[in-house]
Structure 1
Amino acid sequence: MPDFSFDRLRRHPDVEAENLFAVDASDRLILDEAAADLAAAGPGEVVVLEDHYGALTLGAAALHGARGIRTHQDGLSGEQALARNAAESGLAEAYRSLPLGEELLAGARVVLLQLPRSLSALDELADAVRRFASPHVRVFAGGRIKHMTIAMNEVLGRHFGELQVSPARQKSRVLIASAPLPVTDAPAWPRVARHDDLAPGLSLTVCAHGAAFAGTTIDIGTRFLLEFLDRMKPDAGSAIDLGCGTGVLAAALARRRPGLRLIATDQSAAAVASARATMEANGVTDRVRVVRDDALGSRPDASAELIVLNPPFHIGSSVHAGIALKLFEDAARVLRPGGELWTVWNTHLGYRPALTRIVGPTHQVARNAKFTVTVSTR
């Protein structure tokens, strides 16, 4: 019998702290609501989407006997945490991770889903289930009530003919969707938008999958950083867009500075797919390589001349500096002596002392009503 306990699950390699947890009440409620369906499911008929750190996947395997589980997590750190927790629990063979698509969902009869915060992300996931899963599929989509909205019911209602709502328990609830609607339309993802209002002489086409931050818009912090493309280490021959999202900064640098070779990296599968589409739409695939990575984990020490970064300040639903500090530390490791890290951040977060301590001398390049742009030299 596998040695499984929810209490032993860890978030590692994601940020760990006293107020950040690897499992919550919604994981347990999803598993309880789906218990009868899990017991009746055959091998390969259970799919888990957006499992935070493995509670749903490993709970389904250890507590309900599910085998041949297929999983998809947008965040690479969550995928890696699941793998570590599975190995510790003796359940490494109970599941396999796959990209969002037909191989993941074909023939699925039970889908366990941790509801994403983004309605666009939920829409793309629900659309994929409708297109590829069994006509008899039942989706158990749960979350903390404080993060759930009636709009989530409406999104699921666009893809499924039946929707039930579980009773609340421990401030959590589950939406149970079934009877997928007939597929008569083409996939809506990625979405595409043209932006001609960026820095002088710069226009871009942005492509975005549902879970990509900001979608096809360009957030105001990134817009501010775009104003300084020409000042970013002008003699650099290569650069990294760290936490690239839809790839706006990488595409802009490639368009503005044709001699620059770039890597765009993000831990989000949706971001990586979006950035690849963005590079193709802007004709820069020959100079920008997009990779999925946990920070800069796959990059060698002292290998980068220039890194650009618009760091997130949320970890899930929590405002937490841990993810930004992790990105600063990896940037410091990967920068060559004399290399530059250009960062835009919400001024109230006060990152300059941390950048100076972790990366090197840091000076303010510009500041507006909300954001500060800094350059740190290794």
Structure 2
Amino acid sequence: MSEHLFSALRRWPDIEAPNLFAVDASDRLILDEAESQLADIQPGELVIMGDNYGALTLGAAALHGCTGIRVFQDSLVGELALASNAGDLADRYRTHTLDRALLADARLVLLQLPRSLAELDEWAQAIARFAAPDVTVIAGGRIKHMTLAMNEVLVRSFDVVNVGRARQKSRTLTAMGARRSLERPRYPATSVLREPEIPVVELAVSAHGGAFAGATLDIGTRFLLTFLPEMKSDAASAIDLGSGTGVLAASLALARPDLHVVAIDQSTAAVASTRETANANGVGARIDAFREDALTERPTASADLIVCNPPFHSGATVHAAVALRMLADARRVLKPGGELWVVFNTYLGYRDYLNRTVGPTRQAGRNSKFTVAVSVRA
């Protein structure tokens, strides 16, 4: 039964390839470690966080009869994959944001460990604050992506953290004894950037745990910002594709008072961070942040300018196709004469792809690590 269920799962709409799978050994291990608790859990007492493509949620529903499952997935792609895979089990769960409604009175939390320690810290603190006092957290992952620092992060929010035995290169951490401290939430983290690449004296940045680079300026964005004065000068509308904490969106809005910016990211943490960064810098009225899957929801010929510092991984999967999938629809969304500015690791060689799919592309700049390319929609 379990293998039939798991073999039917797909990664779609995420990238799919023969060597990429929608379920791994850590999903199976988490469910096995939780078997006794799942047998006793009552409807509405189970929460699942970070489910990649639905294996944990649908496994709990199909194999253990769980109902009223509350699910949080930071990734919209993961959320869409779960919905696509759910079939007749769609009524067994409901998606939530990371808040009290997700975790109130939860007695068991199954969790795929995120790679970011800050993201894990924000999740753990939320569980400790909102879940039932006797909540048990069973968190798992692939050993190659786990570090001892994860144990230390969990200890900040729980009295007991037990390390499980390894199986098939996976391991679980079980946390109990929620520390219901009265300290303020540690996220979003905030900082003030004073960098020569930023078009203002200082830029306030807000970052939730799952937002890429946190409340700092990552080196790819730093390089792309140096080309801001060269970007389409008469642009009235722009898209920050993969907005992260909103540094690019806020910088564009601050540098160009007549510009309206749409910021897009598939991460809940990133969209919240972008909105908070925009408001902190007084440009919230000119930046609209949306949780969307790449450019699929954007109208045709709706943007004069698109800027993008794309990821090179989806979760733990490093694959060049992740960025290409994001950029695939840029030609449709750009107005004729519109510009797409992209920064990428030089070795990835995206220029030929951009020439074929968007329009004439030139190298605007290159340093020891990154290339910035600009494509013009014919």
- Normalised to the residue count of structure 2, the TM-score between the two structures is 0.97
Shift of 1:297: 1.5
Read off the aligned partner of 2:293 and give its amino acid letter.
D
Distance 1:333 1:8 in 2: 33
Contact 2:198–2:225 under 8 Å retained in 1? no
Task: Give 2:11's aligned residue.
Answer: 11
How does 1:172-187 map onto structure 2 within 5 Å? Answer: 172-187=170-185
**Equivalent residues of 1:2, 1:91 under 8 A apart:** no
Aligned to 1:78: 78
Partner of residue 138, structure 1? 136
Q: 3-state SS of the aligned residue for 1:124?
A: helix
Q: 2:285 aligns to what SS in structure 1? A: coil
Q: Relative to 1, partners in 2 of residues 1:275 and 1:201: Cα closer, same or farther, differing over 3 Å?
A: closer
2:249 is the alignment partner of 1:262: no
* Equivalence map 1:353-364=2 (5 Å): 353-364=352-363
**Which one of 121, 127, 130 corresponds to residue 129 of structure 1?**
127
Measure the CA separation in 1 of the matches of 2:119 and 2:13: 23
Q: State the shift of 1:198 in Å.
A: 3.2
Q: 1:20 to 1:2 in 2, by over 3 A?
A: closer
SS of the equivalent of 2:284 reads: coil
Q: Which residue of 1 aligns with 2:277?
A: 278
1:309-328 mapped onto 2 (5 Å cutoff) = 309-328=308-327
Task: Read off the aligned partner of 2:102 and give its amino acid letter.
Answer: L
Aligned equivalents of 1:8, 1:209: Cα separation in 2: 34
Query: Which amino acid letter does the alignment assign opposite residue 107 of structure 1?
Result: D
State the alpha-carbon separation in 2 of the partners of residues 330 and 80 from structure 1.
Answer: 19
The answer to whether 1:37 aligns with 2:41 is no
User: For 2:315 and 2:20, how far apart are their aligned partners in 1?
Assistant: 9
2:27 corresponds to which residue? Answer: 27
2-structure distance, mates of 1:137, 1:75: 24
Q: Which moved more, 1:48-57 or 1:363-372?
A: 363-372
**What SS does the corresponding residue of 1:5 show, helix, strand or coil?**
helix
Determine the C-alpha separation between the residues in 2 that align with 1:377 and 1:131. 50
> How far apart, CA to CA, are the structure 1 residues paired with 2:226 and 2:323?
22
Q: How far apart, in 2, do the equivalents of 1:361 and 1:19 lie?
A: 33
**Residue number in structure 1 paired with 2:370:** 371
Return the alpha-carbon distance in structure 2 between the equivalents of residues 119 and 112 of structure 1: 17
Question: For 2:95, which of 91, 94, 97 is the aligned residue?
Answer: 97
Percent of residue pairs bearing the same amino acid type? 61
Seen in structure 2, the aligned counterparts of structure 1 residues 279 and 307 have a Cα distance that, compared at 3 Å, is: same
**5+ residue gaps, structure 1:** none
Counterpart-to-counterpart distance in 2, 1:19 and 1:3: 18
Q: Whole-Å Cα distance in 1 between the matches of residues 197 and 288 of structure 2?
A: 23
The one-letter code of the counterpart of 1:309 is: C
Confirm or deny: 8 A CA contact 2:2 2:59 kept in the other structure: no
Cα shift at 1:143: 0.4
Give the superposition deviation at 1:317.
2.1
Q: CA deviation at 1:3?
A: 11
d(CA) in 2 for partners of 1:20, 1:365: 34
- Matched position secondary structure for 1:96: strand
Counterpart residue number, 1:248? 247
Letter in 1 for 2:238: A
Per-residue displacement from partner, 1:259-315 (whole Å, max 9, x unpaired)? 000100000000001101100110101100000000012111222111000011112
Map of 1:333 onto structure 2: 332
Verify the 8 A CA contact 1:198 1:223 in the aligned structure 2. Answer: no
Q: 1:109 corresponds to which residue?
A: 107
- Spell out, residue by residue over 1:186-220, the C-alpha distance to the aligned partner (whole angstroms, 9 max, x if none): 11110001011132652311110001000001111
Counterparts of 1:252 and 1:173, CA distance in 2: 42
- 8 Å CA contact 1:310–1:343 kept in 2: the answer is yes
Matches within 5 A, 1:47-58: 47-58=47-58
**Pairwise CA RMSD:** 1.4
Amino acid at match of 1:121: E
Aligned equivalents of 1:80, 1:317: Cα separation in 2 = 18
TM-score with structure 1 length normalisation? 0.97
Q: Report the counterpart of residue 212 of structure 2 in structure 1.
A: 213
Aligned residues: 376
Deviates more, 1:245-254 or 1:174-183: 174-183
Deviations 1:16-37 (A, max 9, x none): 1122110000000000000111
Q: Deviations over 1:215-239 (max 9, x none)?
A: 0011111011111112111011010
Match of 2:62 in 1: 62
- How far, CA to CA, are the matches of 1:201 and 1:8 in structure 2? 50
Residue 328 of structure 2 aligns to a residue whose secondary structure is helix
Q: Does the CA contact (< 8 Å) of 2:48 and 2:109 recur in 1?
A: yes
- Distance in 2 (CA, whole Å) between partners of 1:164 and 1:200 is 45
**SS in structure 2 at match of 1:20:** coil
The DSSP-based 3-state class of the residue aligned with 1:286 is helix
> Matches of 2:199 and 2:74 in 1, distance apart?
34
Query: CA offsets per residue over residues 87-113 of structure 1, 9 Å max, x none?
Result: 2xx100000000001000000001000
